[in-house]
Amino acid sequence: MTSRILVLNGPNLNLLGTREPEIYGTATLADVESLCAERAATHDLLVTCQQSNHEGGLVDALHEAADAGDVVGCVLNAGAYTHTSVALLDAIKATGLPTVEVHISNPHAREAFRHHSYLSPVALAVIAGAGIAGYGFAVDVLAQHLSSTEPQPSR
């Protein structure tokens, strides 16, 4: 069975390409999903991509991924829920999925309320300000983590 990574995007990320292009660029969510699939393939991984504007939809996606049996990690751009959602924090902790937090822009260069993340304390890594390339980096980080934690053959 081929392992999968969940690429999970939160509120307003369905508007990539048209929403504040001076901050988020002109790439679309479809571009993000293609980038992730291509990068994952270089690591012999598959991706499942989901987007929800609803906090519960994101929590459900994490639960379903953990229950699927073949999902080995998550690339998560929670959007504004990064700064507000204890529910997502708890879902990441409860599922145990290694999760890389991604931000297209640099939240620390923006409004003060964006400087805090509820998710960072449980994230394997945080990638911010690299544009959509950050998603590719996140897939690489997960793949490296997975290869370093795979059981080694006994001698």
Helix (H) or strand (E) holding 125: strand 125-128
152 band by pLDDT with thresholds 50, 70 and 90: very low
Q: How far is the CA of 96 from the CAs of 32, 63, 65, 154, in angstroms?
A: 24, 10, 11, 26
Where do the structural domains in the chain lie, given as residue ranges? 4-149
103 included as an active-site residue: yes
Please give the order of strands across the beta sheet that includes 71-77: 46-51, 4-9, 71-77, 99-103, 125-128
CB 135 within 8 A of CB 103: no
Q: Annotated catalytic residue: which of 43, 54, 63, 103?
A: 103
What pLDDT is attached to residue 20? 85
Q: What is the pTM of this model?
A: 0.91
pLDDT at 153 over 80: no
pLDDT at 136 over 90: yes
CATH class of this structure's domain 4-149: alpha beta
Give 21-49 pLDDT, tens digit per residue.
888 889 999 999 999 999 999 999 999 99
Q: Annotated catalytic residue: which of 24, 81, 118, 135?
A: 24
What pLDDT is attached to residue 150? 57
135 included as an active-site residue: no
